[in-house]
């Protein structure tokens, strides 16, 4: 009898339906099915390993996830320190602010008459509606707050911390911005101008010259200094976009100043984009290794799926399976007023904390 191939060792296990199966048990079984189901189960296992290890976990958030109903999942991850740093598009933070202020998004239809929606000043995000009048009120609210600040540069991280504090003081409601403020988790928004928060900042400057000054280059320095201070990192990315590259860029930039940095030790991404068109959003984690964004021995997985399907399952499973891990986790401790610190060490925005000897 011919010897069994070394490739035929672990059989696929057909998924058997069982009433009352928990999300973590569901994903444990999905490790023995195929395709994106297995990848989602692998993401669950890798995230658990991140939490067990001494790493700084970056979460990247792109797309329309807040408008699509996932904002409180992200708030939960922040409040319970399943992640340590958030990098987000401005839109997700804006739509979070919208709901934290008591406004809503509404169930809509992809078959809507968009001319009729425009007549009623209703904005559509695929199958979701929101009021343009409420958005205008948000813009004015952001502008008024920004105009009240001292007229000096702010990194997006410092500005969003202050905005989250103001939002908490005025509403007392949970959300991404308020959770990050209360948990002292930094939020970076490298493309803040490309959002309604950016529009509010521009309106502040219209009313008060010098207001709304965001130092986006300072964001690069701060984020890289986080990695220099704590070289072992992990990346969780939802939807690609600017947040994905900014997280990876922080590792590459940090390595320029510290030879202790070697790319992310763990990485998982939940994306719908594909790699073969060359865009960064769909780029593979293997490709990221060629840039030094991930370590060559990193534990990684890509889940090609809509985050509105994958994230609720994944985080519900983590809430059960990783509760004791998180309770014992050694997480970085930040202070966020003015110059940021991590574990008591300064994280300046005006210069890199050099570890390497300067080139001669």
Give the model's pLDDT for residue 360: 34
The residue-averaged pLDDT of 214-219 equals 98
User: Where do we find the tokens 């609720």?
Assistant: 312
| pLDDT surpassing 90 at residue 359 | no
Mean per-residue pLDDT for 299-304? 98
Residue 12 phi/psi, 5-degree rounding, is -65, 140
- Which domains occur in the chain, in start order? 23-104+132-347 (3.40.910.10)
Q: How far apart, in whole angstroms, are the C-alpha atoms of residue 164 and residue 166?
A: 5
pLDDT value of residue 2:
80
Give me the percent of the chain exceeding a pLDDT of 70. 98
Model pLDDT for residues 162-195, shown as the tens digit of each residue: 999 999 999 999 999 999 999 999 999 999 999 9
Q: 127 Cβ partners below 8 Å, 6+ apart?
A: 107, 108, 109, 110
Q: Output the pTM of the full model.
A: 0.97
Beta strand 128-131 with 106-107: parallel, antiparallel or unpaired?
Answer: antiparallel
Q: What is the CA radius of gyration of the chain?
A: 21
Two structure tokens written together for 202: 């521009």
For residue 227, give the nearest of 190, 270, 193, 257 by alpha carbon: 257
**Catalytic machinery residues:** 293
Q: Using an 8 Å Cβ cutoff, are 352 and 257 in contact?
A: yes
Reduce the secondary structure of the chain to three states and give it as a string: CCCCCCCCCCCCCCCCCCCCCCHHHHHHHHCCCCHHHHHHHHHHHHHHHHHHCCCEEEEEECCCCCCCCCHHHHHHHHHCCCCCEEEECHHHHHHHHHHHCCCCCEECCCCCCHHHHHHCCEEEECCEEEEHHHHHHHHHHHHHHHHHCCCCCECHHHHHHHHHHHHHHHHCCCCHHHHHHHHCCCEECCCCCCCHHHHHHHHHHHHCCCCCCECHHHHHHHHHHHHHHCCCEEEEEECCHHHHHHHHHHHHHHHHHCCCCCCEEEEEEEECCCHHHCCCCCCCHHHHHHCCCEEEEEEEEEEECCHHHHHHHHHHHHHHHCHHHHHCCCCCCEECCCCEEECCEEECCCCCCCCCCCCC
What whole-number distance in Å separates Cα of residue 337 and Cα of residue 155? 11
Angstrom CA distances, 140 to 90, 104, 119, 281, stand at 16, 17, 22, 32
pLDDT in tens, 92-142: 999 999 999 999 999 999 999 999 999 999 999 999 999 999 999 999 999
The pLDDT-based confidence of 356 (bands split at 50, 70, 90) is: low
Closest CA to 308 of 277, 270, 339, 358: 270
Spatial contact of 71 and 42, defined as CB atoms under 8 Å apart? no
Residue 125 has which token pair? 């995000």
Q: Percent of the chain having pLDDT more than 90?
A: 96
CA gap 331, 326 in Å, rounded: 9
What tens digit of pLDDT does each residue of 246-291 get? 999 999 999 999 999 999 999 999 999 999 999 989 999 999 999 9
pLDDT value of residue 3:
84
Q: What is the pLDDT of residues 27-86, one digit of tens each?
A: 999 999 999 999 999 999 999 999 999 999 999 999 999 999 999 999 999 999 999 999
List the Cα angle 140/146/148 in 5-degree steps: 105
């Amino acid at each position: 009898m011919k010897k069994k191939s070394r490739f035929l060792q672990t059989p696929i296990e057909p998924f058997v339906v069982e009433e009352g199966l928990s999300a973590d048990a569901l994903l444990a079984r999905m490790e023995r099915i195929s395709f994106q189901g297995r990848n989602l189960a692998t993401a669950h296992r890798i995230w658990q390993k991140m939490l067990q290890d001494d790493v700084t976990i970056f979460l990247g958030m792109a797309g329309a996830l807040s408008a699509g109903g996932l904002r409180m999942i992200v708030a939960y991850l922040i409040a319970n320190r399943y992640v340590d740093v958030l990098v987000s598009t401005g839109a997700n933070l804006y739509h979070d602010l919208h709901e934290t202020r008591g406004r809503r998004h509404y169930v809509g239809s992809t078959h809507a008459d968009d001319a009729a929606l425009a007549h009623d000043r209703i904005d559509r995000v695929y199958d979701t509606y929101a009021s343009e009048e409420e958005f205008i009120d948000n813009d004015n609210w952001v502008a008024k707050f920004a105009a009240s600040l001292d007229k000096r540069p702010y990194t997006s991280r410092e500005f969003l911390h202050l905005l989250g504090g103001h939002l908490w003081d005025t509403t007392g409601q949970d959300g991404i911005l308020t959770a990050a403020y209360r948990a002292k988790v930094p939020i970076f928004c490298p493309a803040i101008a490309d959002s309604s928060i950016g529009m509010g900042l521009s309106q502040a400057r219209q009313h008060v010259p010098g207001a709304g000054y965001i130092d986006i280059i300072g964001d690069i320095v701060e984020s890289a200094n986080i990695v220099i201070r704590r070289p072992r990192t992990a990346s969780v990315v939802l939807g690609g976009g600017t947040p994905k590259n900014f997280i990876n860029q922080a590792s590459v930039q940090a390595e320029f100043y510290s030879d202790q940095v070697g790319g992310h030790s763990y990485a998982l991404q939940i994306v719908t984009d594909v790699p073969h068109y060359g865009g960064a959003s769909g780029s593979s984690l293997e490709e990221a290794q060629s840039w030094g964004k991930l370590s060559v021995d990193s534990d990684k997985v890509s889940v090609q799926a809509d985050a509105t399907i994958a994230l609720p399952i994944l985080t519900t499973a983590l809430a059960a399976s990783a509760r004791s891990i998180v309770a014992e986790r050694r997480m970085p401790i930040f202070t966020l007023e003015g110059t940021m610190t991590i574990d008591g060490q300064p994280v300046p925005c005006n210069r890199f904390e050099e570890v390497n000897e300067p080139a001669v």
